[in-house]
Structure 1
Amino acid sequence: MIDLKACPLWLYRLLPFLRWWPSVNSDTLKADAVAALTGAMVVLPQAVAFATIAGLPPEYGLYAAMVPAVIGALWGSSWHLVSGPTTAISIVVFASISPLAEPSSAHYIGLVLTLTLLTGLIQLGMGVARLGVLVNFISHTVIIGFTAGAALLIASSQIKNFFGLAIPRGAHFHEVLIHFGTHILDINLWVMVVGIATLASGILARRYLKKLPYMIVAMVVGSLVAAFLNARYGVEQTGIKTVGALVASFPPFSVPEFSLAAIKQTLFPATIIAILALTEAVAIARSVAIKSDQRIDSNQEFIGQGLSNIAGSFFSGYASSGSFNRSGVNYASGAKTPLAAALSAVFLLLIVMLVAPLAAYLPVPAMAAILFIVAYGLIDFHHMGEIIKRHKRERIVLAITFIGTLVDLEKGIFLGILVSLMFYLYRTSRPSIRQLVPLASEADNPRRKFIEADSESPTCPQMAVLSVEGSIFFGAVEYVQQQFRNIDETNPQKKHLLLTSRAIGFVDLAGAELLAKEAARRRKMGGGLYLVGVQPDLTEMLHRSKQVDTVGADQIFQHKGDALRAVYPRLDNEICRTCTARIFHECNVALPDGTPRASA
């Protein structure tokens, strides 16, 4: 028997499931089995719907929920994350591959498998390179905008099935709307009746029958309505088509297309899907981990997601990610270990064996109605409203991502990320610089308590006290330099600058050179630059850049009191004699040359 507690660290990294495997016992196994069964029942209609979105035969959605779920659970870091097909990934797959091949054709499936393999390899490479931190740079606003845009694309892709219209394959969003508007009189009423019945029953079941899976309720109602209409009027007259029986089998072994043309065609979409899927998976894992009090290793999740997609591509699965619905259900159902996610794949296979023949009665317009409900649920109206009302820049990011996704789904999310990063860089390039003054009520108090100055605050005519909050790096140098120069340009007597540095987060070589140049410039003016509360990182950078001598070691202080006691004697005695501000404690005791104040 191997003592798992004595395993070396490298073995834990290679086989991360060894960390939680010793905690599996009869109690956790029972809880995991219940959660797995619940998750399998939830994913069955979802997987069929997602495969339809992706332009694949329905069973491929089920395959994507089997092997990837097992691999993702064993090699990921989350206890509750369940991998499988998702709406966003499905729509990207369809948008990427449908212009290249006929959906559901052998060539289309081969390209999708290649896309999935490349996605997994990119994710695995990012995980091995420990690039998990990159997902932190994709803002929540970008995800909301992209998801809302993808939701409308899902809905538009099902208009033809819901209304029984012949809309050209691969039509863009605006083209679908134009075609629908110009062919509204060609709507097949029989098909639309089935769609409306399914849509209404799904909405009502979701609202009033919360204990039942609303998708299954809607599918049953739609199937019964379609069966009645076909039996009474005939399929030739109604034109109501069905999905067809599902293939009930273990995910068959498959081989992606390895041709150079296939790789070239799918490499860019694979990069998009890899980033989107990782963002989705890590975000879901973290949100569930907050409830379960677990720490998530983003790099390990990258590896787990990468391996799950690589394995999925050889077992007829298309690109997968963490599923929010399944992960939430998994946690809420009482799952104790990742074994629940792995068992859900086993239960799903057993359920498929039982219900696969029933899919022959599932009408296509009913599936379209289900996808309308799914698309509506993707749009986060609450957060979109908050962003539009309260956040000007985020409003722009949201709009650009949303519209960009509708125009070109593959590039829409990259455009949103780019704009979001531009705003981030703009904010970081303009650190907060505030002028400080001592509390007026404590002018005679040796303790140095400072507040932000306002338009009515008296200030020292010879020295400015500034607080810098943020980083002084190459992108912020010009802005910070201009703020420093504004002090003496508006008031030439202010030759001294005291800089509180505790809130300076990061200083690079350019930032250190800026401080050195400012110190030299102020010395030429007859004043000086004084740094207070310098953090270790700033001190280290000044030494590494050899700028500490230029700044002056005697100009660096730990506390404001020490700095003011050292700087005050350097001020102009005559200016201080006639000054009425007297905002510092020293001002009320003596002049800079030591002459006592008459009032002292």
Structure 2
Amino acid sequence: MSNTLAKFAQVCPLWVYKLFPFLRWWPSVDADTARNDAMAGLTGALIVLPQGVAFATIAGLPPEYGLYAAMVPAIIGALWGSSWHLVSGPTTAISIAVFASVSPFATPGSPEFISMVLTLTFMTGVFQLILGLARMGVLVNFISHTVVIGFTAGAAMLIAGSQIKNFFGLDIPRGTPFFETLSLFAQHVGDIDPYVTAVAATTLVSGILVKRFVPKFPYMIAAMLVGSFLALFLNNHFGVDVTHIKTVGALPAGLPPLSAPDFSFGALHQMLFPALIITMLALTEAVSISRAIATKSGQHIDGNQEFVGQGLSNLIGSFFSSYASSGSFNRSGVNYAAGARTPLAAVFASLFLVVILLMVAPLAAYLPNAAMAGILFLVAWGLIDFHHISLLPKINKQETIVLWVTLIGTLIDLEKGIFFGIALSLIFYLYRTSRPMMEAVLPDPDPTNYHYGSLEGRPECPQVKMLRLNGSIFFGAVAHLQQQLQQLEENEPERKHLVIMASGINFVDLAGAEFLAEAARQRRKLGGSLYFYRMKDSIKETLKRGHFMDDIGEDNLFPAKTRPMSVIYAKLDNDICRNCTVRAFPVCQTHLPNGEARTS
């Protein structure tokens, strides 16, 4: 069977791979890989069981919807994505985004809420699919890692804030804004329920201890068991009327039921902007995670194909009671570590999850809400990247500002927080690129070296200015460069000849080309010229095609390993050179620009 598939793969047209990308890896499946994938899938199913329930709670959905989101979307994402180890399903950030997006329009957990969540999921899938088919995978590169760290930390704090009422047994309305929740908590500290808090705190501590001392055991399952047994004991001993410990309730056992998103104009209009946000957030998660694992596995990731896989998983999942899903870092990392060889592991995980759900669904009736709150506190703490948050101020102040704007913006308005972070990050980037670095340089004193270094206290030639320019010359940088050259003319008018070390110029657009031509004309008006050393061929061709080279002059371009001053020197003022004691260049030592030998 494997040999037949391998032969088919060799003659398979390219368009077939586009429609059915799983045909690329399917020939590599054999008994050995299937065994490894099955074991990895079983591990993944055990991990997603408590996570799915927790994430659905975050999203404001009934607990079973978190498990549904880990079934069909995981299979579709594995078969139509490009990563061999990425596992799709519910995630923390997506769950909190879903809740924040839909809760203003419907009561969490209500049929209207669920219907709008399915609409949001469908639209997210459509947007992801369109971006993938349009080969726009490059878009996620514009979302900086700092923005993701800030958003994730903000989402973690929102998760913890949403569970304060369940952790301490307080009566705080669902959906209360984060800072208002903190205010209400401070006002009602005296109303904390000791029984509820005991269950939540015990669950939290148990999870921490198991994760630290027994890392191979699923710490969430262990913590849930400890919290559930404690809650059962307290309820039996004191009574529910005294403890007020409520449980999640039994989960429906079975396959994900068919569902239908709300396609009314009102629902589509209301979910449009949230769908765009979740689209970018989900794609950023999926591509970032798949690339991170690919660095370990050595696999090549096709970002556009990953967009298609994620889009299909959400689009189809919306008809199988699934809410918006994405790549999960925890489950994907465990999937790789557990020995998964192909995407079949994610398929196995979904199938095993169905079997496990059939067996343990009734037991959810004993799972306390307080224990879930303890688990979510643990999840929230693990999401905050304390290492990078503490490191950023020492490395880059602008990135630190981006981090805190994203984090605080997420706490105030999750939907807009990430966009504020992205916008500010791009603004800082544009600001940096719009100010190319210009450094005064001189040739290396070693006559056999063609390198140009910083002045380091050496005097410059009174007639020639040499500058190294690092950065692209585009419309955003032109104003800054014009200002720099104008200051140079005003401060150093005697240096009429300007030599640009151009190896660091990577790109020139129309505005930049016009600027260079104008700079060349201005230098001629001053009685000098504009020269370039080691200009890239691509930039030279751009200037030629636009006829800007007519002003600059090809004879003013010097390729690598040449001596520009051997040509420029003859154009200098003979009288100035005669009385000059600087003699910055080797050619100055022997004769004057007119060829006359120096006498001293």
Whole-angstrom distance in 2 between the partners of 1:13 and 1:565:
58
1:88 and 1:75 mapped to 2: Cα distance? 23
**Hey, what does 1:567 align to over in structure 2?**
568
1:449 aligns with 2:451: yes
Match of residue 469 from structure 2: 468
Distance in 2 between the 1:452 and 1:13 partners?
53
Instruction: Tell me the CA shift for residue 447 of structure 1.
Output: 4.3
Q: For residue 406 of structure 2, give the secondary structure of its aligned residue in structure 1.
A: helix
Q: How far, CA to CA, are the matches of 1:558 and 1:51 in structure 2?
A: 63
> Which residue number in structure 2 is paired with residue 592 of structure 1?
593
- Structure 1 residue 52 corresponds to structure 2 residue 57: yes
Residue of structure 1 equivalent to 2:555: 554
1:242 aligns to 2:247 (yes or no): yes
AA matched with 2:240: V
Counterpart of 1:406 in structure 2 is: 411
The C-alpha deviation readout for 1:493-530, integer Å capped at 9, x for no partner, is 10000111111010001111111000000101110001
CA contact (8 A) 1:569 1:592 kept: yes
Q: Aligned partners of 2:396 and 2:12: how far apart in 1?
A: 50
Alignment partner for residue 237 of structure 2, among 214, 224, 232?
232
**Alpha-carbon distance between aligned partners in 1 of 2:228 and 2:42, rounded to the nearest angstrom:** 25
Specify the alignment match of 2:536 in structure 1: 535
Q: Distance in 2 between matches of 1:446 and 1:316?
A: 73
Name stretches of at least 5 consecutive residues in structure 2 with no aligned partner. Answer: none
Q: How does 1:385-396 map to 2 (within 5 A)?
A: 385-396=390-401
Match of 1:163 among 127, 149, 168: 168
Say yes or no: does 1:62 pair with 2:64: no
1:319 aligned to 2:324? yes
- Separation of aligned partners in 2, 1:180 and 1:448: 69
Deviation at 1:439? 2.6
Show CA shifts across 1:69-104 (max 9, x none): 000001111110000000000000011111211111
Is the 8 Å Cα contact of residues 162 and 174 (structure 2) preserved in structure 1?
A: no
Q: CA deviation at 1:560?
A: 6.1
* 1:106 partner amino acid: P
| Rounded Cα–Cα distance in structure 2 between residues aligned with 1:469 and 1:19 | 43
What is the one-letter code of the residue matched to 2:505? I
Aligned residue runs from structure 1 range 283-322, under 5 A: 283-322=288-327
Following TM superposition, by how much is the alpha carbon of 1:174 offset from its aligned partner in structure 2, in angstroms?
A: 0.8
SS of alignment partner, residue 472 of structure 2: strand
| CA–CA separation in structure 2 for the residues paired with 1:589 and 1:293 | 59
Match of 1:512 in 2: 513
Contact 1:534 1:558 in 2 (8 A): yes
Alignment equivalent of 2:188, drawn from 166, 183, 187: 183
Superposition map of 1:322-337 within 5 A: 322-337=327-342
Cα shift readout 1:354-410 (whole Å, capped 9, x = no counterpart): 111111100110001100000000000000000123321111101100110000001
Given residue 463 of structure 1, which amino acid in structure 2 is its aligned partner? V
Say if 1:532 and 1:560, in contact at 8 Å, map to a contact too. no
TM-score, reference length from structure 2: 0.98
Backbone CA RMSD of aligned residues: 1.1
What's the counterpart of residue 500 of structure 1?
501
Q: Partners in 2 of 1:181 and 1:424 — Cα distance?
A: 41
Match of 1:135 in 2: 140
Letter in 2 for 1:169: R
SS for the counterpart of 1:401 is: helix
Alignment deviations for residues 401-449 of structure 1 (CA, whole Å, 9 cap, x no partner): 0110000001000000000000000010011111111234x3xx26433
Residues 1:212 and 2:212 are matched in the alignment: no
Bigger mean CA offset, 558-567 vs 491-500: 558-567
Deviation string 1:574-600 (CA, Å, 9 cap, x unpaired) is: 11111111111111121100011224x
Stretch deviating more after TM superposition (161-170 or 285-294) = 161-170
1:122 is displaced (CA, Å) by 0.6
Does the 8 Å contact 2:41/2:348 carry over to 1? yes
Matched residue, 1:491: 492
Query: Partners in 1 of 2:544 and 2:184 — Cα distance?
Result: 68
- 1:464 and 1:487 in contact (8 A); partners too: no
User: What is the CA–CA distance in structure 2 between the aligned matches of 1:325 and 1:447, rounded to whole Å?
Assistant: 53
From the superposition, tell whether residues 410 and 168 of structure 1 become closer, same or farther in structure 2 (CA, over 3 Å): same
Question: 1:552, 1:59 → 2: CA distance?
Answer: 72
Match in the other structure for 2:581: 580
AA of the residue aligned to 1:574: D
Which amino acid letter does the alignment assign opposite residue 153 of structure 2? A
* Residues 35-70 of structure 1: per-residue CA shift (max 9 Å, x gap): 111111111111110001001111100000010000
**Structure 2 residue 79 is the aligned partner of structure 1 residue 74:** yes
Q: How far 1:185 moved relative to its partner?
A: 1.5
Letter in 2 for 1:423: F
CA distance in 2, matches of 1:522, 1:193: 79
Percent of aligned pairs sharing the same letter: 60
Q: In the aligned structure 2, how far is the partner of 1:453 from the partner of 1:347?
A: 68
Compute the displacement of 1:545 (Å).
Answer: 1.8
Alpha-carbon distance in 1 for matches of 2:180, 2:302 = 43
Structure 1 residue 307 displacement after superposition: 0.5
Task: Output the CA distance in 1 between the equivalents of 2:590 and 2:511.
Answer: 40
How many residue pairs get aligned? The number is 595
Q: Paired residue for 1:21?
A: 26
The CA deviation at 1:169 is 2.4
Query: Counterpart of 1:39?
Result: 44
CA apart distance, 1:488: 2.4
The 10-residue stretch of structure 1 (562-571 or 293-302) with the greater mean CA deviation from structure 2? 562-571
